[in-house]
Each structure stands twice: as structure tokens, then as C-alpha cells.
Amino acid sequence: MPTLDSLTFDNRYARLPPAFYRRLEPTPLTAPYLVSVCNDAAALLDLDAAEIRSERFLNLLAGNLVPHGAEPLAMNYAGHQFGTFVPQLGDGRAILLGEIINSKRERWTLQLKGAGETPFSRRADGRAVLRSTIREYLCSEAMHALGIPTTRALGIAGADETVYRETPETAAVLLRLAPSHVRFGSFEVFYARREHEYLRQLADHVIEEYFPQHAGMPDAYEKFLTEVTERTARLIAQWQAVGFCHGVMNTDNMSILGLTLDYGPFGFMEAFNPGHICNHSDDQGRYAYENQPYIGLWNCSRLAQALTPLIDAEKCNTALAKYEGAYLEAHASQMRAKLGLAQAMDGDDTLAADLLALLAEHGTDFTVFFRALATFDTTPGDSNNLLRDMMVNRPAFDAWAARYAARLASESSVNENRRARMNRVNPKYVLRNHLAQVAIEQAEKHRDFSEIDRLLQLLQRPFDEQPEHEAYAAPPPDWARGIEVSCSS
């Protein structure tokens, strides 16, 4: 198994012109300590268990060791933040170490988040805090286990250095992995500057590396935009299906590969409310749960605008027109699976929409209800009281349940088989904010990281019953209802 010294770097992004980045070294942490490491993510780099428990690996996580062959840099980009264009952003607290080719010939970029000031920090300190790194670490791996495209999280290093946010906090660095960290905003910066040759070079680089099936084709840029648009639509359909709210869907937080990128004030839906706003900083509700599909298209249109020097406007509009169909198809498929429907039939979308309206009317816990829906019994009687008890208006639920039973009967659904299918798509465990908060408080107050590791193991098996962890599947306790997350999260 490779050690850190034998990792194979192939830093193709660093071969692009200097306008795309600024080279710099990470700022070391003083006296770092290991918070947590993810074995599954380490396996993507072919690193064995002994190596990821070594002092050298800790120093890699902390930014104190730059592996041989790495070429650290901060990426340059712009972005629309809450709808307003900001012409200069860039990696203000992230440093791309380099690009690894593993034994499967997969490409993984290693990025340190919180590794110190960069030329793009805009007078900030470039550090991350333990609180936010724990949240991103756990949610990255939780989303992967849910089957949702995402960046991955390799590990966290902490230190007793003080970082000032709303209150003094302790510093930490997260090492995350992705095939690419290129964003929509990576294209916007060159469009805004009218540096069209750089725009073309970036598009060619991304197509050659990640969309090679389109490379060299006369309509390569249009096909690239179309695929990014469709990937984004399908990603957000998956978010909606598990009740995931991103919180800050700025274009600089949108992955060109359709990955969930930059976990900040995220949240999983609890009491179902389509207008739920998970980000306390989002005063206007721009990124509310129900708005996410529309914002996804809006963001794709900003990418399309940035590509107009390479694609004419009509072809951009043709590519963008693919979004709605891709989203609706993916969302319909997700909802049929959540309802245990094996076939697509007319009226399925209405059945699903009416159920969501019932959940909203009653403020029913999204994850708990859909997991419990697998217990639905098509035979008459009191077998569905568990579900009825989640509703205040039981007659309204009974009317929906009769329609649901008839729909299941129309495809001769077998309860036992349907339940098994539903339990493979409706998670029992998601990263609720109060679960993360308990782990954060233990880490901050007592330097006890056991709850982080416990949650990591739990969330890597979100569809399993895990009876020893039943309490982790419950709705939030009363004390947790006041938890707020914001852009500093």
C-alpha cells in the first residue's frame, strides 16, 4: 500500500497559466492533534491504516507537511453570492495541495480547508474552526453513503490556536477530496474580465479531464454545458428527496461536476416545511428548500452566460432547456422509490405531491415519516396507526392512504418486497443538527472526539436498522429547536 511518500501526483490544474491560481504554502498549525480520520476516504488514495494513524499523516492534515510532488495553490474564481455578482472571490481559506492518481487510475484532488491566509482571503485569517470542520466532515461522508454526489472528507486536524468569529473558537483544518474543485465561478471570473482565451483554456481543460467523450467535437462546449446542467438538476432532485437544504447555493459553491460542494449552514429537513430556511443569514429566504430547484437553474444560467464567448446564446438556451426535464424525471423517480412504487403510472406525481402537502400541514418529521411509510399495510384494519398518529388531521391522511393502497394494488405490490425496497432508499439516519452539535460540544469542551467517530460510523450505514443507535433516529429534542446555523457554520 502506498505511503505519503509514494503518492502519484499529476497536477494538471497547476499546468494552467498563473491567472487560474496563486501558488503558496499552507500555514502550519501549532501542536496539531488528530480529531478524526475516515478510513473509506483514505482508501481512495490507497493509504493503509498504519499510514493514516502516523505522525506524518497528522502533519499532512494540519498543513505542516507538503507531500513530495504536491504543488500547493489557491484557486481563482468569482461568483454570484445571494444573487449579486462578486467579481473576485477565490480560495480564501482553502489550498489545493495537488492531484493524485490512485491505483484505479482515478483522479482525486486534495484540498486543505482552513490552512491559512491566501491572496484571496480579503483580510480574513484563512482559518477554519473546529465546529465547521466537524459539520462538513460528517455531512460529506453522510451524503456519500446516501448515494448523493459529493466531495469527500479525509480527516480533521485540530489545534489550540484561537480563531475569532462571533466568539473565540479553536482552529482546525479539514482535508477534503474531489475529482475536481472547479466551480461555476471559475468560469465567471474570466467572463467578467473579458479574458476569453483563459475561459477557453479552462473549458478545454475541464472537458479533456472530466468530459472526454466531448473533447475535440465541434459542439464540445454546448455538450459540456448541457451535461453540467443535467447533472446539477439530478443532484438537486436527490437533495429534495432526502430533505437536504444546502443553505448557500452561490455560484462559487456549485461544482462543475454536479457534486455537493462547500458544506456550511446545511440542514436536513425535520418538521416538513417547503419554505424552510436552514441558513440564519439568508434573510430573504433565497435558498429555502422549495427554492433549491429554481436556484439550480438560475445558477446554470449564470454559467451559460459565462460561456457565451464560446457558445452562441441560442445554443446556451437549448442546453438550459434540458434542466427542467432532467430535474422532473429524476425527482419523479426518487419519489416513486420513496413510495415503494415499482412502475411509473399516471398520477404518481400528484400522489407524491399530496403526501408532501399533508406532511407540511402537520409539520411531520420528513425522515421519520418516510422511513415509517415502509410499514404501510394495504389490508384494512388498524395496521397503519403508526402513520396516522403522525398526523393531526387523520381523515385527510386516511383519504390519501386509500389512494395509496389502490395505487399499490394496481401493480400487485407485495408488502414484504416493497418494504425492503423502501428501506433501501428512505434513510433511517441523517445528520440532524442536534446530533452534530453534541459531537461539536464534546470536542470543543472536552477534546473528546468519540462522538464524531460514532456518528461517522452510524451515517456510513444510513439505511440499516442499527438498533443499538435507535435514539439517533428520533426527531430533535426540545432543547435542539433553537439551534441556528449561518454562513459562519
From the list 209, 218, 353, the residue with the least C-alpha distance to 272 is 353
From the list 289, 451, 440, 480, the residue with the least C-alpha distance to 366 is 289
In DSSP terms, which residues pair with 168 in a beta bridge? 164
Q: Hey, what's the cell of 116? A: 491559512
Q: What DSSP line would sit under 232-284, residue for residue?
A: HHHHHHHHHHHTEE-S---GGG-BTTS-B---SS-EE--B--TT---BTT-TT
From the list 146, 292, 426, the residue with the least C-alpha distance to 138 is 146
Q: Scanning the structure block, which residue is given the C-alpha cell 468519540?
A: 450
Q: How far apart are CA 433 and CA 441, in angstroms?
A: 12
Q: How far apart are CA 273 and CA 240, in angstroms?
A: 12
Q: Hey, what's the cell of 177? A: 477530496
The verdict on whether 252 is a catalytic residue reads yes
- Collapse the DSSP code of 85 into the 3-class scheme (helix H, G, I; strand E, B; otherwise coil) and give the result: strand
265, 43 Cβ separation under 8 angstroms? no
Q: Hey, what's the cell of 132? A: 465547521
Compute, in degrees rounded to 10, the torsion defined by CA atoms 72, 74, 76, 78.
150
| Max CA separation in the chain (angstroms) | 70
Helix (H) or strand (E) holding 385: helix 385-388
Of these residues, 5, 48, 252, 398, which one is catalytic? 252
Which residues are tagged catalytic? 252
